[in-house]
């Protein structure tokens, strides 16, 4: 398939709230202006999600909202044992009180609550993630992590929806950020080392249908001493202009075609195959841990299986170079949501 590369800087949304350009880029060239959204305030969704993993432990930090409800959360889990600890603050009717940055490439984000505080700080080539919590009924949290960002290469996509022209998703994902520091969440304590730990940012802004579903996969690691990563996904919005499927190698992005995978088929913990229509991403996936998230409250009904496992296979770069991938611990997820 032909995919539209967005190269010219400009506004994300037109005066009528529709996307001015549809497609992908490797930098955040379009400007997200919340005031141009033509939808009810309670339909706007915004989040910053960070994940740090070293193949044995994983820590996730989220600041986000769906306008009528918000969440500040930290999760930690160990793949081998399935031990899982989390702490969170739920916010009622936050709307724009969180002041989410209009770009993934600039602007700090902070939350200060009674028993929890969380900060995402950006500086040149670095991101610092801080969280402290000491709730009366919950785990103590003390996190101070630094992600190095040697380059600004990313997967950025502007996706429309067929249901309404005012529906859109603007997504910025950053892979391959070496991560160091410490994270204590209850009785899980991890010291991350940049030699084997990587951070991921999933930055999302948009308005989309109440009922939706997606498939997403992502991973980062070292292959032959070089940083290698991938982002794959489908099922969310109209991706005829571009997919979110991309390879990263030594600081450069390589666009690939459509990737298909059936995560639920045969059970989430069964072995899976991942195949791209251009033959540039061929992987076998052996699950090791299924991180299941379910939320059911009033009209909200969400379920997500984020399955971590080992990827083995090949990825082909734009110049034809083949990257042999062996036992790269990464994830694939399937989400079915009503919110």
Q: What is the pLDDT of residues 127-172, one digit of tens each?
A: 999 999 998 888 999 999 999 999 999 999 999 999 999 999 999 9
Considering its fold, how many domains does the chain have in total?
1
Looking at residue 69, its pLDDT comes to 87
> How many Cβ atoms sit within 10 Å of the Cβ of residue 107?
14
Name the pLDDT band for 81 (thresholds 50, 70, 90): very high
* Residue 217 located in a structural domain: yes
Q: Which domain holds residue 276?
A: 10-338
More confident residue, 193 or 338: 193
Give dist(CA 169, CA 161) in Å, integer: 8
Give dist(CA 169, CA 238) in Å, integer: 10
Contact 99, 65 (CB under 8 A): no
Q: Give residues with Cβ within 8 angstroms of 201, minimum separation 6.
A: 48, 49, 50, 104, 127, 172, 173, 174, 177
Residue 185: pLDDT above 90?
A: yes
Name the pLDDT band for 324 (thresholds 50, 70, 90): very high
Name the pLDDT band for 299 (thresholds 50, 70, 90): low
Residue 297: pLDDT above 70?
A: no
More confident residue, 71 or 297: 71
> Stretch 288-301: mean pLDDT, rounded?
83
Q: The whole model's pTM is what?
A: 0.97
* Residue 232 located in a structural domain: yes
The percentage of residues in the chain with a pLDDT greater than 90, rounded to a whole number, is 91
* Residue 2 located in a structural domain: no
Q: Is 164 exposed, middle or buried (0-12, 13-18, 19+ CB in 10 A)?
A: middle
What is the rounded average pLDDT for all residues in the chain? Answer: 96
* Residue 250 located in a structural domain: yes
pLDDT digits (tens, 9 = 90+) for 229-274: 999 999 999 999 999 999 999 999 999 999 989 999 999 999 999 9
At 28, give phi and psi (nearest 5°).
-80, 80
Q: What is the 3-state secondary structure (H, E, C) of the chain?
A: CCCCECCCCEECECCCCCECCCEEECCCCEECCHHHCCCCHHHCEEEEEEEEECCCEEEEEEEEECCCEEEEEEEEEECCCCCEEEEEEEEECCCCCCCCCCCCCCCCEEEECCCEEEEEEEECCEEEEEEEECCCCCCCEEEEEEEECCCCCCEEEEEECCCCCCCEEEEEEEEEEEEEEEEEECCEEEEECCCCCEEEEEEEEEECCCEEEEEEEEEEEEECCEEEEEEEEECCCCCCCCCCCEEEECCEEEECCCEECCCCCCCCCCCEEEEECCCCEEEEEEEEEEEEEEEEECCEEEEEEEEEEEEEEEEECCCCCEEEEEEEEEEEEEEEEEC
Residue 302: pLDDT above 90?
A: no
* Residue 131 located in a structural domain: yes
* Residue 1 located in a structural domain: no
Contact 148, 174 (CB under 8 A): no
Residue 182: pLDDT above 90?
A: yes
* Residue 5 located in a structural domain: no
* Residue 328 located in a structural domain: yes
């Amino acid at each position: 398939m032909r995919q539209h590369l967005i190269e010219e800087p400009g506004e994300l949304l037109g005066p009528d709230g529709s996307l001015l350009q549809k497609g992908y880029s490797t930098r955040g060239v379009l400007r997200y202006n919340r005031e141009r959204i033509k939808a009810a305030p309670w339909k706007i969704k915004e989040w910053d999600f960070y994940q740090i993993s070293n193949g044995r432990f994983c820590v996730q930090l989220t600041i986000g909202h769906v306008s009528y409800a918000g969440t500040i959360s930290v999760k930690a889990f160990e793949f081998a044992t399935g031990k899982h600890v989390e702490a969170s603050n739920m916010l009622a009717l936050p709307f724009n009180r969180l002041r989410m940055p209009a770009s993934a490439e600039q602007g700090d984000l902070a939350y200060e609550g009674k028993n929890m505080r969380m900060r995402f700080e950006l500086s040149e080539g670095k991101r610092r993630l801080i969280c402290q919590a000491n709730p009366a009924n919950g785990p103590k949290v003390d996190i101070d992590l630094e992600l190095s960002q040697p380059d600004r290469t990313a997967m950025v996509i502007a996706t429309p929806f067929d249901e309404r022209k005012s529906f859109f998703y603007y997504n910025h994902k950053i892979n391959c950020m070496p991560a160091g520091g410490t994270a204590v969440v209850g009785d899980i304590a991890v010291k991350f080392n940049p030699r084997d730990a990587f951070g991921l940012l999933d930055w999302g802004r948009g308005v989309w249908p109440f009922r939706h579903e997606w498939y997403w996969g992502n991973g980062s690691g070292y292959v032959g001493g070089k940083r290698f990563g991938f982002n794959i996904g489908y099922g969310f919005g109209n991706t005829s202009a571009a997919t979110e499927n991309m390879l990263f190698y030594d600081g450069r992005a390589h666009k690939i075609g459509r990737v298909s995978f059936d995560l639920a088929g045969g059970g989430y913990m069964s072995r899976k195959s991942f195949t791209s229509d251009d033959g540039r991403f061929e992987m076998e996936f052996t699950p090791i841990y299924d991180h299941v998230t379910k939320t059911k409250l009033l009209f909200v009904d969400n379920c997500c299986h984020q399955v971590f496992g080992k990827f083995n296979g090949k990825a082909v770069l734009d110049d034809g170079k083949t990257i042999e991938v062996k036992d790269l611990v990464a994830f694939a997820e399937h989400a079915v949501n009503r919110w």
